[in-house]
Amino acid sequence: MRWLEKYQAKRVSADEAVKAIESGMRITMQPGCAVPQELVRAMVRRGESGALKDVEVTHILTMGDAPYMDPKFEGIFRHRALFIGHNARKAVNEGRADAMAVHLGQVPKLFSTGVLPIDVALIHVSPPDEHGFCSFGTDVGTIRAAAEAANYVIAQVNPKMPRALGDCFVHVNKIKAFVEHEEPLLEMPQFVFNPDDPKTVVPMKIGENIVDLINDGDTLQMGIGTIPDAVLYYLPDKRDLGIHTEMFSDGVVDLVEEGVITNDKKTLNRGKMVAGFVLGTKKTFDFIDNNPIVEFRPTEYVNDVQVIAQHDNMVAINSAIEVDITGQVCADSIGPRLFSGFGGQVDFIRGAAMSKGGKPIIALPSTAKGDSISRIVTQLKPGAGVVTTRADIHWVVTEFGAVNLYGKSYRERAKLMISIAHPNFREDLERYAKENHLI
């Protein structure tokens, strides 16, 4: 067990480990619920000590706080967001952090090809097994490519990190320093639906409309938010569903335990739920621990359009901020104000479109701000970005129905989109469409 000797020789404190971080370096960290919190705290302490300047910290969405984005660290740390999380939104829109437009499936390539060279990777892993392999646990997604490309890898070793199975292991020989620190993982609770709560009526109706499009035996991908959670709420009557998705949460665990998700009808990786990461609570973390039904794969596999397309009856469910009446989808900004990112939306919309029997779905509430603003619009707001083009769009779902724009002319699209807009705005949308000779 030579690996054990090496492991023990590389055990250090967090403050000692982060001395590898120097001014001018680019740092990445494991995202989602797997943020290596002890290493982040030590990195921030090193920044506070005056030892660092011009350090770039790049990653996709992370749970919890991101103290290195505090204005007091300007000139010391600067964040590059590959997907803007809630903790990065303010810094990005104040110009204290940067953001990139990138499909999630392309993020690993940024690291592996050296477009974004990584000096130090901060990872969060399970304790090594008898062969010296640590699991990336709740998130292998983009971090494995980053860790493989990094010059120096520091691992927080945490017995609370589940030993997820699949293509998500790293050997102790590949890690430069180990920091043993036990603490609970960051969590993302699922949205709680209550038919008597007015705030849940709209997402529940959207969920019902989407579930009408799902058949027994379909394979599902669902993004983040209340609408995907609402879909899960209405799925218990379905049978033999499969999962191939960038992420899943607590609601999927319930459906596996109820026998709704079996993966028995999947065309690819039959019998396995394939995902890149989870965003959930301890319930999900316990579920994935040493569970052979779950196969974690890196993003470059999970979000590969050709891999997605090999699944017959692939249903991809993603959300939007607004959609115009020709089918252009904005999902990352509110006008020029950056809000989130591309994520895997286009990867899965295109993959599902190529799938035999597949259904790419964009879902959104018809309005915002107490029905005062329509999210089905004549034109996207000035400065808004197009994430999914109108040539890619198929199904669009609101609480007022579901329409399929595939194969439709602009005239037909406009009529269909107006039909699922909020009734308060249909007259204005129709007037615009007539004035611009769309209908």
Which residues participate in catalysis according to the annotation?
246
Q: In sequence order, which residues have a C-beta less than 8 Å from that of residue 249 and are 6 or more positions away?
A: 188, 190, 229, 232, 278, 279, 280, 284
| CA dist., res. 400 & res. 362, Å (int) | 14
Residue type, 70: D
DSSP calls for 54-72: SEEEEES-BSS--GGGSGG
Query: Contact 14/41 with Cβ under 8 angstroms?
Result: yes
Query: Contact 216/263 with Cβ under 8 angstroms?
Result: no
Query: Contact 135/168 with Cβ under 8 angstroms?
Result: yes
E-only strand ranges, 89-240: 98-99, 120-125, 133-135, 152-157, 169-171, 177-180, 219-222
Give whole-number Cα distances, 156 to 21, 22, 142, 185, 257, in Å.
15, 19, 17, 12, 31
Q: DSSP label at 185?
A: P
Cα angle for residues 107, 332, 297 (degrees, 5° grid): 30
- The residue length of the chain stands at 439
Query: Contact 325/366 with Cβ under 8 angstroms?
Result: no
- Sheet bearing 98-99, strands edge to edge: 98-99, 77-81, 55-59, 26-29, 120-125, 152-157, 177-180
Cα separation of the two ends of the chain: 74
Tokens read off for 50: 């005056």
E-only strand ranges, 251-394: 273-278, 294-296, 314-319, 322-324, 329-330, 333-334, 337-338, 359-363, 367-368, 373-374, 376-377
